[in-house]
Chains A and B, each alone.
Chain A
Amino acid sequence: MSVIGRSVPRLEDPPLLRGEGAFAADISFPRQLHMRVVRAEMAHARLLAVDVSAALALPGVVAVWTGEDVATIPPIPFRATKLKGLEPYCQPILARGRVRYVGEPVAVVFAENAALAEDAADLVVADLEELPALLDAAAPPRDFDATHATEPAILRKSYGDVEAGFAAAHAVLDLDLSIGRHSGVPLETRGAIARYDAASDTLELHGTAKKQHWNRDEIARLLGRSPTSVHLFEGHVGGGFGVRGELYPEDLLVCLAALRLRRPVKWIEDRREHLVATNHSRQQRHRLRAAVDAEGRLIAIDNVFFHDQGAYVRTHGARVADMSAGLLLGPYAVPAYRATGHFRLTNKTPAATYRAPGRYEGTFVRERLMDAIAARLGLDRVEVRRRNFVPVSAMPFTRPLDALGTDVVLDSGDYALLLDKALARFGWEARQADIARRRAAGESVGLGLGFFVEKSGLGPSDGVRMSVDPTGVVELVTGAASVGQGVETALAQIAADALGVDYRCVRVVRGQTNRIEFGSGAHASRVTVMSGSATHLAGLALRDLALGTAATLLQAPKESLTIVDGMVCRADGPALPIGEVARALAAGTKLSRERAVPGLTTEGWFHSDHMTYPYGVHLAQVALDRMTGAVAVEHYLVAYDVGRAVNPKLVEGQIIGGFAQGLGGALFEEFRYDERGQPLSTTLADYLMPTIAEMPPLDVLVTEDAPSPLNPLGVKGAGEGGTNAVGAAIASAIDDALGNKGLVTRLPVTPREVLRLLGEIEA
């Protein structure tokens, strides 16, 4: 029985359970210095001068740098969605001339211990002349600097005749919808520890995540070094969610300091810093117009939106706005579409991706529209969605759009089937009846849904190296990374399945640039698809090599052999441990001379031009407290088709955890600012992440009805479907409880907003 598809225990757990993890803050080196960042306290100001004299005078302080000291270092570059004209908006590693958000690094202090560094940082005085803060991306753009405005780009994507669609419409819907600013906020803050080894002329960076190889190349380039003289290491990673592992100013600052000061330099972000320094996400306002026919079928959509990028454009370039334009349509067939994305800067923390980026936003917008169509035409909300689905007969479905630099081709999916399964599992009809009874008794209760299409498996290529050592242990070296989602276990399962060994014999090495030259890290739900497929291919190749070698050793036909549980065997004959096969291929052996490379080792590469598109539906039942505005989520279902689940328990874990984050964005979490741009959500008592007490009864339905034709395993990514439609489904259910009038137009839906919508309080 294949180990793929089984909920085997995670390989990652034992050290984490014993407190033996190696997270960034757990890493220390002798003689290390501690870095503390001095951050801007105004949202927008001229930076006239920075006085570091008092800080430098504090005993134990080794150095203090301002923008002048790092003026030769280029700003943080893009790795994604590099639209023309974005370069002037890149973030310098320390501010010069102007500060543009509260939290922007203006100086760094290096001291003998962390508390002392913080004491010294308090003594650094930035002379700021306040400028008006721009806080609304939908407001007219202003000056970014002397020559650039705060609208670096307008994204345009379209196909079909949109104007003709509106001219022919039976009805036109016009919606104004907003998504609040929130983000990943992992439990571990960021950290970076750099060390320069003069003996080998190597710069090491520890505490890294997500994109080690790209970051290595860029760090090397920005610091004027060869990439082979820079190594990035990944230990344990306390959650990623899109925000961790991007190249941030602090990463470069510790590297530069390690080179200049010739001592290891450690930086651990504190939580208040994290909430103003690490990428925010999601804030977007959509003015959506849609044309429909008399049956509620979409004819055309005009999607004008304002993306609040914050103060600078970071590594992701315009990726979230790009996806908000390119992936908005989800599961529906729409004859004509036009997106106009105003990509705008404001005086807030820079924004980038967060789990289901552009889709959490887009699904909220699109599904609000579907509810609005149903209400306008007096149709059933479920039926409107059904009528607009891309049918299974149209798969693969090419949409004349692109996103993430690749054409949008929906690879497989039976949306109507999943919707039917989900409605049945949820008990939609019975709940409708129950809701009607409760409403008659005066309660404000409602049901909601949000259908969505995710994307995963971003190419173009991924490679792994797989080897068996003489003890029979398999080493799988991958350029993928782990942010805690169970990468090692899933890849070990795939490797074990292909090769024929126990998955517990597979050691997965990830996130170490000195072990493999190429890697794409862990992002965009790509690891299982891309690294998994590469692992599968490597495993098959290794199996073939092992069988061929064993055939020689056992003097048996290769076809008569198989590998089971690490033993090469034939039905009635002797068995040979796979480690013995490896020994026979070791360097210097006779057999090894017949091969280009000695050892039972191989590389596996997988290439893909298109993404795979998992899909799902969220169903919610809510009750509103008419006196307090509290929203009680009484029942919730996430149904998600992942093509094929490598480890169902891990898939379920991804969905449940992703749901909790989506719930945060729907009801609780928001980075708020006052009118001068001062952040108001700077502690975990103000930034409201759900606790277990906020979690509703949650049901998960994972289906495997539409394996991807694009990879040998048929898998699709599972990481983001739990998050994607939570805002949409909760909004839909609240709106239903309010009478389906389209009142819910903004996330998060706060109790105060519910009271206002109930008419209990004034705006």
Chain B
Amino acid sequence: MSDVLHRVRMTVNARAATIAVEARRTLAEALREDLGLTGTHLGCEHGVCGACTVLMDGAPVRACLVLAVQAEGAAIRTVEGLAAPDGTLHPLQQAFADHHALQCGYCTPGFLMLAMAMLEENPAMEEAEMVERLSSNLCRCTGYAGILAAVRSVMRR
């Protein structure tokens, strides 16, 4: 039964994508292995660390806890879709650089997508709410101070 491949059509960063995957393939694996979008990272594969956070129909999800087949018809957004086509960083990405919100950069794509979802839901979020939302993801390098500062700076715009 592992030989059965399912066809999945979705849009990824506003482009149509069609893949054929085993049912057990997670969305994160499909993005990385089938679509070559390795910016979505896997830090635990059991839904705790948040490194694989992407937006699915606008909502932040753990891409390791969604099956690729469940993304049929969905609009997926990943870190690769944030910068402008010419490479210009999105203001949120620029804020991460300005506030030293990353060191090794492994958790960064997940935090960027989480923060994007925060911005889109409520661009004037209170500090306590920001902390509650950002507590979804783990970072092992920065101690979070720069991440919070970066998100706060974009919220204020």
Q: CB-CB < 8 A to A722: which residues of B?
A: 143
Does B146 lie at the interface of the complex (its beta carbon under 8 Å from any beta carbon of A)? yes
Contact of B145 among A486, A656, A685 (CB under 8 A): A656
Q: CB-CB < 8 A to B145: which residues of A?
A: 656, 695, 698
Does A680 lie at the interface of the complex (its beta carbon under 8 Å from any beta carbon of B)? no
Q: CB-CB < 8 A to A695: which residues of B?
A: 143-145
Q: CB-CB < 8 A to A19: which residues of B?
A: 37-40, 78-80, 82, 109
B41-A188 in contact (CB<8A): yes
A691-B41 in contact (CB<8A): no
A689-B41 in contact (CB<8A): no
Does B93 lie at the interface of the complex (its beta carbon under 8 Å from any beta carbon of A)? yes
Does B122 lie at the interface of the complex (its beta carbon under 8 Å from any beta carbon of A)? no
Does A684 lie at the interface of the complex (its beta carbon under 8 Å from any beta carbon of B)? yes
Q: Tell me the B112-149 residues at the A interface (CB within 8 Å).
A: 112, 131-132, 134-148
Stretch at the interface among A43-51, A234-242, A282-290, A440-448: A234-242
Does B35 lie at the interface of the complex (its beta carbon under 8 Å from any beta carbon of A)? no
A653-B103 in contact (CB<8A): yes
A656-B104 in contact (CB<8A): no
Q: How far is the CB of B145 from chain A (nearest CB, A)?
A: 5
Q: CB-CB < 8 A to A116: which residues of B?
A: 2
SS class of chain A's interface: helix, strand, loop or mixed?
A: loop
Q: CB-CB < 8 A to B2: which residues of A?
A: 115-116, 119
Does B48 lie at the interface of the complex (its beta carbon under 8 Å from any beta carbon of A)? yes
B97-A684 in contact (CB<8A): no
**Complex Cα gap A722–B109 (Å):** 25
Q: Given A17-B102, A656-B145, A684-B138, decide whether A187 and B45 contact each other with a Cβ distance below 8 A.
A: no
Q: CB-CB < 8 A to B103: which residues of A?
A: 239, 484-486, 653, 657
Q: How many chain A residues touch the partner (CB < 8 A)?
A: 54
Q: CB-CB < 8 A to B42: which residues of A?
A: 25
Q: How far is the CB of B12 from chain A (nearest CB, A)?
A: 12
Task: Produce 1/0 per residue, A174-193, CB < 8 A to B.
Answer: 00000000001111110000
B100-A10 in contact (CB<8A): yes
Does A21 lie at the interface of the complex (its beta carbon under 8 Å from any beta carbon of B)? yes
A188-B43 in contact (CB<8A): yes
Q: Given A18-B82, A683-B48, A685-B48, decide whether A188 and B97 contact each other with a Cβ distance below 8 A.
A: no
Q: CB-CB < 8 A to B83: which residues of A?
A: 17-18
Q: CB-CB < 8 A to A186: which residues of B?
A: 104, 106, 140
Q: Tell me the A11-47 residues at the B interface (CB within 8 Å).
A: 12-14, 16-21, 23, 25-26
Total A-B pairs, Cβ < 8 A: 175
A483-B131 in contact (CB<8A): no
**Complex Cα gap A236–B103 (Å):** 11
**Complex Cα gap A229–B139 (Å):** 37
B44-A683 in contact (CB<8A): yes
**Complex Cα gap A189–B41 (Å):** 11
Does B7 lie at the interface of the complex (its beta carbon under 8 Å from any beta carbon of A)? no
Closest to B107 in A: A187
Q: Tell me the A185-240 residues at the B interface (CB within 8 Å).
A: 185-189, 236-239
Contact of B106 among A9, A17, A238, A486 (CB under 8 A): A238
Does B53 lie at the interface of the complex (its beta carbon under 8 Å from any beta carbon of A)? no
Does B72 lie at the interface of the complex (its beta carbon under 8 Å from any beta carbon of A)? no
Q: CB-CB < 8 A to A692: which residues of B?
A: 131, 134-135, 139, 144, 147-148
Q: Given A186-B140, A188-B43, A653-B103, decide whether A9 and B147 contact each other with a Cβ distance below 8 A.
A: no
Q: Given A12-B105, A187-B49, A683-B46, decide whether A484 and B141 contact each other with a Cβ distance below 8 A.
A: yes
Q: Given A484-B103, A683-B44, decide whether A17 and B141 contact each other with a Cβ distance below 8 A.
A: no
A691-B78 in contact (CB<8A): no
**Complex Cα gap A619–B100 (Å):** 24
Task: Produce 1/0 per residue, B32-65, CB < 8 A to A.
Answer: 1000011111111110110100000000000000
Closest to A185 in B: B140
**Complex Cα gap A651–B62 (Å):** 32
**Complex Cα gap A628–B104 (Å):** 36
Task: Produce 1/0 per residue, B72-111, CB < 8 A to A.
Answer: 0000001110110001010001001110101111111100
Does A626 lie at the interface of the complex (its beta carbon under 8 Å from any beta carbon of B)? no
A17-B96 in contact (CB<8A): yes
Interface centre among B25, B136, B139 (most CB of A within 10 A): B139
Does B6 lie at the interface of the complex (its beta carbon under 8 Å from any beta carbon of A)? no
Q: CB-CB < 8 A to A498: which residues of B?
A: none
**Complex Cα gap A12–B100 (Å):** 11
**Complex Cα gap A10–B107 (Å):** 17
A239-B140 in contact (CB<8A): yes
**Complex Cα gap A238–B25 (Å):** 24
Q: A residues within 8 Å of B by Cβ?
A: 9-10, 12-14, 16-21, 23, 25-26, 115-116, 119, 184-189, 236-239, 241, 270-271, 483-486, 649-650, 652-653, 656-661, 683-685, 689, 691-693, 695, 698, 722
Further 4 A-B residue pairs, CB within 8 A, beyond A187-B49, A652-B100, A691-B138: A17-B102, A187-B43, A485-B141, A695-B143
13 contacts between A and B (CB under 8 A): A13-B102, A16-B105, A17-B108, A18-B89, A19-B78, A20-B39, A23-B41, A26-B38, A237-B104, A485-B104, A660-B143, A695-B144, A695-B145
Q: B residues within 8 Å of A by Cβ?
A: 2, 22, 24-25, 32, 37-46, 48-49, 51, 78-80, 82-83, 87, 89, 93, 96-98, 100, 102-109, 112, 131-132, 134-148
